[in-house]
Chains A and B, each alone.
Chain A
Amino acid sequence: MGYDILAKIIELTDSEEAIEQRLKDVANLLAESFAFDQCALYLWDDEKRVFNLTVVAGDEVGCKKEYKEDEGLAGFTAAKGKPLLVAKSNPDRETWRGTVDKGIAGFTTIICCPIKNSLLYGMLYLKNKKKKSISSKTKKLFPVIAMQIATAIKNYQCIINLKDFNTRMKDMQARLVHAEKLLALGEMAATLAHEIKNPLMSIGGFAKRLHQQLGQDSSHMIYVDRIVKEVERLEKLMEGIVRFSVKSDYEFSSEDINRITEEAISFFEDDLKGSGINVVKSLSINMPRVEIDRQQLKLVFSNLLANAIQAMENGGTLTIKTRHEDNWVITEINDTGGGIDPAIIGNIFNPFYTTKERGTGLGLAITHSIITNHKGLIEVNNNLGVGVTFVVKLPVAIKEDRILEVS
Chain B
Amino acid sequence: MEKFTVLTGVAAPIAMPNISTDLIAPSHFPGKKPEEAIVMSFKDKLFANLRYFPDGTPKPDFVLDSPRYQGARILLTGENFGCGSSRETAVWSLQEAGIACVIAPSFGDIFHDNSFQNGFLPLRVPADDIDRLTKGLARTNASELTVDLEKRELRVSGMAPIAFDLPDNRRIPLMEGLDQLRFMLRSADDIAAYENRASTERPWSFAAAGG
A and B co-occur in one complex? no
